[in-house]
Structures are given as structure tokens and as C-alpha cells.
Amino acid sequence: MQRGVNALNGSFNRKKVSGIDYWYFQYTGANSKLVQFFVGPDSESLRKLIDEKKAAPDSTSLRAMAESAIKLGCRPITNEHFKVLSPLEQHGLFAAGAVLVGTHAFIAYGNMLGVRWKDQLGTEDLDFAHAGRSVSVALPSNFSLNTQDIVHSLEMGFLPASTFGKVFGGSFVHPKQPEFRLDFLTAKTSESDAPVFNVQLGTSLQPLPFIHYSLEEVQQVVLLSSLGPVFVTVPHPARYAVHKLLVFGERSGAYVVKAKKDLDQAAALIEWYLNNNSAVLLEKESVLIGQGKGWQKRYETGLKALANTYGQLHKRLELARASFRPGDVNKDDGWASE
């Protein structure tokens, strides 16, 4: 309630239902439609909360807690990225099924797993992934969200990505900072690489192969900045790790730097799992390998790169694989638990 009430500009409204008074909070969303959510039945404590909201609408308690967490060792995201992610979260993008991928997810893993990565693997990319049509069936029939309108409402100057006059769906770039991008991705389900328009999100998504593997198990996490926290959804960290090895072989040419980053991030997470819960990592690996020969071939390429760059870590992984049995997995691995 503190998060919902203090982060939005709106008003409280009381309604009588079956003779009982209930409170609701309403505000105007990015699509200019009125959004209303249930607060609770009328009570003295709830009225006190409402009075406090009216008296101090700009509470900074969550911001102060975020700053404290950063001072205690949690790694933050940049304030510039927070200014993009926070409005997208408040307007329901992640509730709609969007999943944050790339280095921002990797940052969240370090904070949640209680480790500080050795390398500062930062990036100017903001990559988003959404399962597209396969997730839309879980959305309410009256759900609508225009992502492009929200991007424009950021008032940060983002424009649709284009090359030689051709506009590419699913990506927005900052004209003064070409490396600062918003990429909306989805799983590739056909031979075409053409962007796919998603009705629920009101924007086009760029299809990518293999990405659906990272979207089958997700978790909500908090990213921190000096401006406050933001609530996002990310892939399971073990799936993220083995997926990074899979896509390593796909990188070439201008993407060699990203390939190195893929390998480094995979190695960091693999090391954590080998030290703490190797069975979970190996179970996610077996699921990936079971996707087919094409997946196996690419994953083997990633494993070879891991052996060449992180030889001792690769040996530990091989030893763990040799002794792994599917029954070793504790289904409650602590990641998805409340």
C-alpha cells in the first residue's frame, strides 16, 4: 500500500457496497484512462493512512531505504535507467508479462544472491523480453496498454530505431546517446525476423531465437537506484546462466563484446550455483539440452568457450555433471519462494 499510494498522483474514493463502506485509489494512466484499485474496507487505521497521504504526498521512505541498501553493498542501476524503468513498471508493463533481461537482470541477481560480482559488467542497453502471443491468453479480455505512448510520455527524447530511413519495430533509441536503447523482444516462432505487433502491449516486438527458454520461469525482483526502488520481472538466474552460454555462439562481428559479456555473466552465476546449489543449475541445463540437437550444438560451443576462458570452473562443472541425478533437485530452490 505504501508503494502504491505514495508513488502515484491520484485520489481516494469511498464506495458503499451492500451497506459496507470501501475505499479505492484512482489515478490517470498513460493511456489517459482512469485506473482504480481496491484499498480496503473503511476503518480508523485506513482513514489515518489516507490522512497521512494527503498531508505528505511525497513520502521518501522507500527512496531512503534504497539509498541505505546501496550504502550497505547492493549494486544500483543508473538514475537514467531508473527514470525509464519506473514509469514502465508503474503503468503495468511488467504486470502485463514483460520480463527484463540482460545486464539489469544480472545486477538484480547479485543483490538477491548476496554477492558482489568481480567485474563491473554494465551496459547502456535496456533489453526487454515478452513472450508475446503465448502470454496474452492469461491477460484480462479488457486489458490494454500502449507501450509506445508510455515511451513518449517519458519525455526523454526516445525515437523509433531506424537505418537508412527504414524504421525497425521493437526498438527505441536516444538521438543524443545512440547506445541508450529500449529493445522490446519476443520469442521467434517462425522463419521471419520481422517485428510482431502485440495487441496487449500496443507495440511491435523483435523476435529472437531461443529467448522463450528464459521466459518460462520468472521472478519479481527489486532494482535499486539513489532515486528509489523499481519492481521488475526477470528470468530464473540458473536459466539465465545456461542461456547465456547458448547464445554465446550466436554472437559474431560487432557483437563480440556482448559475447564476452555473455560468457562472463554465465561464469559468475555458474560459480555461485556450484558453490551453493549445483543441482538447480544442472536441472535447468538438462531442460535446455532437451530442446533439440540445434540447442545442444550451440550450448557445446558455449561450454568450449567456458573451458578456454575459465578452465578450472569448467572442470568443476564437468565433475558436478558427472554426479548429477535428476532426483537431486530440490524443487523449492529458494528463488521462487515467497
Read off the C-alpha cell for 269.
552465476
- Which region among 11-25, 53-67, 222-236, 282-296 has the lowest average model confidence (pLDDT)? 53-67
Identify the H or E element spanning 169.
strand 166-174
pLDDT range class, residue 126, cuts 50, 70, 90: very low
Most confident range, picked from 29-43, 67-81, 185-199, 265-279: 265-279
Residue 158: what pLDDT? 67
Contacts with 240 (C-beta within 8 Å, 6 or more apart), sequence order: 101, 105, 106, 109, 214, 234, 265, 269
pLDDT range class, residue 156, cuts 50, 70, 90: low
Contact between 119 and 264 (Cβ < 8 Å): yes
Read off the C-alpha cell for 175.
538521438
Residue 32: what pLDDT? 53
Of 206, 105, 87, 187, which is closest to residue 147 (Cα–Cα)?
Answer: 87
Residue 261: what pLDDT? 82
User: Is 327 or 235 the better-scoring residue by pLDDT?
Assistant: 235
pLDDT digits (tens, 9 = 90+) for 256-303: 667 888 898 899 999 999 999 999 999 999 999 999 998 999 999 999
Of 264, 259, 219, 261, which is closest to residue 239 (Cα–Cα)?
Answer: 219
Q: Looking at the DSSP assignment, which residues form a beta bridge with residue 173? A: 159, 181
- Which region among 123-132, 174-183, 306-315 has the lowest average model confidence (pLDDT)? 123-132
Residue 215: what pLDDT? 81
Terminal C-alpha separation, the chain: 18
Instruction: Look at the chain and count its residues.
Output: 338
Residue 121 pLDDT exceeds 50 = no
- Which region among 86-100, 143-157, 222-236, 316-330 has the lowest average model confidence (pLDDT)? 143-157
Residue 239: what pLDDT? 95
AA letter at 193: D
Residue 142 pLDDT exceeds 50 = no
Residue 131: what pLDDT? 26
Residue 146: what pLDDT? 67
Map residue 50 onto helix, strand or coil.
helix
- Report phi then psi at 22, rounded to 5: -125, 150
pLDDT range class, residue 36, cuts 50, 70, 90: confident
* Cα–Cα dist 55/53, whole Å: 5
How high is the mean pLDDT of the chain?
A: 76
Mean pLDDT (whole number) for 193-197 = 75
For the entire predicted model, the pTM comes to 0.73
Residue 135 pLDDT exceeds 50 = no
Q: What is the DSSP letter of 336?
A: S
Residue 166 pLDDT exceeds 60 = no
Contact between 241 and 266 (Cβ < 8 Å): yes
Residue 306 pLDDT exceeds 90 = yes
Q: Can you spell out the DSSP letters for 247-263?
A: HHTT--GGGHHHHHHHH
Instruction: Spell out the SS3 assignment of 205-238.
Output: EEEECCHHHHHCCEEEEEEEECCEEEEEEEECHH
Count the Cβ atoms, other than its own, within 10 Å of residue 59: 15
Residue 130: what pLDDT? 30
Percent of the chain's residues with pLDDT above 90: 25
* Cα–Cα dist 331/48, whole Å: 43
Read off the C-alpha cell for 249.
555462439
pLDDT range class, residue 35, cuts 50, 70, 90: confident
Contact between 120 and 169 (Cβ < 8 Å): no
Mean pLDDT (whole number) for 91-118 = 82
pLDDT range class, residue 133, cuts 50, 70, 90: very low
Residue 99 pLDDT exceeds 80 = yes
